[in-house]
Chains A and B, each alone.
Chain A
Amino acid sequence: MRVERDKLLPYILVAPSIAYMAFFIGYPLLEGVRLAFVDEKGRFTLANIEYMLYSVHSKFWDALKFTTLLAGVVIPIEVAIAIALAMLLTYKFKGRDLAVYVVVLPLVISDVAAGLIWYSMLTGGGFLNKLLLNLGVISEPVIFFGREYLWREFVAVVLAEVWRSTAIVFVILFAGLQMISGELIEAAEVFGASPMQKLRHIILPLLKPSLQAALIIRTLFAFQVFGSVWILAGRDIPVLAGEAYYEQVELHHTGVAALYALVIACISLFLGFIYIKSFRAKYLEVGV
């Protein structure tokens, strides 16, 4: 009896979590499909998808375009900064830990707060305009916000996103870099490798798995971008999650909002699938 119970125990301990997650992922997915493709009378309908794709009121294509564009601009910048930061902070020096804490701080700051922080930096009477005015670099404030300044708004969003989520890429790379043995790098130094050679031939190849993980996770987050864009640009720069929010809260188009959510879910499941497939072996080997 005792043995039987001990064998079952881990399953009993794990089951509630798995059941909870299964419900909160499974139910919304099924209900989402129903909301998107079934009308009030229970008949199959394509009205929601037609609205989303073709209606003049729908900004789906713009949202898809801007979400992808934002990801395409922000992610390479973040990866470059994160690699540089990770290399910089891998060397032990006085105050390094403090520097790491500060650099990872944006990880726990909400997207809405990040949007507001950069609003305070860039608005007409904000810090940057005041600074540049007083230094004589500009003679009148640079206006970043408003529909007619769409690309400047885009720059503001890029700044806020890079500021907020470089830390995600950094933490993954930093953790990965810690696992690379210092001996290899020292050996390269002994044989007279230049910093660039060390980076190209030793660090980057060994960092590749972490880099892949960081890229996939960051891309996944990029398709959920919402708070910072909504605060800084509203619907001037439509994004997928923002349109889901707008259709649901402002227009009460629950079916269309559910459809947007499904689009985000499909992109995420696809990226998640690649992630699990490429890291499965590695993840289990390192262990949790």
Chain B
Amino acid sequence: MALLSPEVREAVTGILRAAAVALAVSWTALPIILAITYALADPNDYYNMEKVIPTRLTLEHIRSLIALGAGRAIVNSVIVALLTVAFSFALGLPAGYALARFVFPGRDTVKLLLVGMRMFPIIVIGVPLTVLYLKIGLNDTLLGVALAHTSMALPFVVLITSSIFAGIPKDLEEAGLIFGLTRAGVLLHITMPMALPGLAAAAMFAFLLSWNEVFVASVLTFNNRTLPAFVLVQVAAATELIKFAAVIIMVAPALVFVFAARKYLVTMWGITLR
């Protein structure tokens, strides 16, 4: 390298870097694209060993998956995820606001508690909850799964929303107060509209946490399976093409999320994972 002129060296570095980026992107994206393509493959193409990339596509396998009962599981998963978002926001939004806007004794302790709770594995709560739910009639209910998922999503919701509120200038709120708005008025007309896009991203993240969770959902349900639980139990015994079809449905909300919330991705995960 030392023999080359600086321009050549720069060009070579640029090409190597571009190649490395291309490799990284394909390593992540290709398996998803290929799995989706295979899920749509015409069986004649799939079982033809010379056909590496299927060209004739069909929705037949998704239909077979739905016929197995995936339709109901999808509806169940959506209900559980929406309930999880509703519960975790109802509880977590006020807490996030308080952590961002008030200085009070014990604030740091609360933050640390939440950081610690965020790391508590949801797997641990599944088995004991089955016993509690049997006693109070919540076993095999969507509400029961949503309550468990809320405990997983809540620390994330508090930490993310508090960082979103902290990012909204306090001056604007104070200006609102000076011009005669009440505290509630300020919240409604100034803070919330500005926080809304970030909150939407946080809501989608909470939705996905629930949508993706499999262990607790499969332990707590029997007839009312969510989609991952359904896939784990029923689809595992189905044909390969039906298994691939499950990928499309499971991955779709994640793709929508990454596209819609792309502006918030790295900051949000920086916060939640640090």
Contact = CB atoms under 8 A, between A and B. Distances in A.
A168 B49 contact: no
Contacts of B91: 16-17, 20
Given A258-B128, A272-B120, A24 B29 contact: no
Contacts of B150: 20, 24
A117 B32 contact: yes
B95 A13 contact: yes
A190 B94 CA distance: 50
A150 interface: no
Interface string B215-229: 100110000000010
A220 B265 CA distance: 22
B15 interface: no
B131 interface: yes
Nearest to A223: B121
Contact of B265 (A101, A111, A210, A275): A101
Interface string B98-115: 111010101110111111
A20 B158 CA distance: 12
A265 B151 CA distance: 15
Interface of A is mostly: helix
B121 A25 contact: no
Contacts of A276: 112, 115-116
A278 to B, nearest CB: 12
Given A25-B120, A116-B247, A276-B116, A35 B131 contact: yes
Given A28-B125, A35-B131, A102-B28, A175 B232 contact: no
Interface in A109-131: 109-113, 116-121, 123, 125-127, 130-131
B121 A224 contact: yes
Given A16-B94, A17-B154, A248-B219, A99 B24 contact: yes
A144 interface: no
Interface in B116-152: 116-117, 119-121, 123-132, 147-148, 150-151
B116 to A, nearest CB: 6
Interface stretch (B67-75, B159-167, B169-177, B190-198): B159-167
Given A100-B265, A217-B273, A254-B127, A88 B24 contact: yes
Contacts of B168: none
B137 to A, nearest CB: 17
Contacts of A117: 31-32, 35, 247, 251
Contacts of B27: 163
B47 interface: yes
A114 to B, nearest CB: 9
Contacts of A254: 127, 130-131
Interface in B201-215: 205, 208, 211-215
A108 B117 CA distance: 20
Contacts of B46: 125
Contact of B17 (A91, A210, A245): A91
Given A24-B148, A106-B28, A110-B214, A125 B47 contact: yes
Interface in B1-58: 17, 20-21, 24-25, 27-29, 31-32, 34-35, 38-39, 46-47, 49-52
Nearest to B148: A24
Contact of A116 (B50, B95, B246): B246
Interface string A217-261: 100100110110011000000000100110011000010011001
B155 A21 contact: yes
Given A112-B228, A261-B128, A231 B236 contact: yes
Contacts of B163: 288
A254 B102 CA distance: 44
B92 A17 contact: yes
Given A31-B132, A230-B232, A261-B128, A20 B154 contact: yes
B232 A24 contact: no
Interface in A24-78: 24-25, 27-29, 31-32, 35
19 contacts: A25-B117, A35-B131, A88-B21, A93-B21, A102-B28, A104-B265, A104-B266, A108-B257, A120-B247, A130-B50, A224-B121, A241-B123, A245-B215, A261-B128, A264-B121, A264-B123, A283-B115, A284-B112, A288-B163
Given A105-B255, A123-B240, 17 more contacts: A9-B98, A17-B154, A24-B148, A32-B124, A35-B128, A84-B20, A104-B269, A109-B251, A110-B211, A117-B251, A119-B240, A120-B243, A133-B49, A174-B266, A230-B236, A261-B126, A268-B120
**What are the nearest 9 A-B pairs in CB distance?**
A175-B270, A110-B212, A24-B151, A13-B98, A31-B128, A10-B102, A28-B128, A13-B94, A28-B125
Interface of B: 17, 20-21, 24-25, 27-29, 31-32, 34-35, 38-39, 46-47, 49-52, 91-92, 94-95, 97-100, 102, 104, 106-108, 110-117, 119-121, 123-132, 147-148, 150-151, 154-155, 158-159, 162-163, 166, 205, 208, 211-215, 218-219, 228, 231-232, 236, 240, 243-244, 246-247, 250-251, 254-255, 257-259, 262, 265-267, 269-271, 273-274
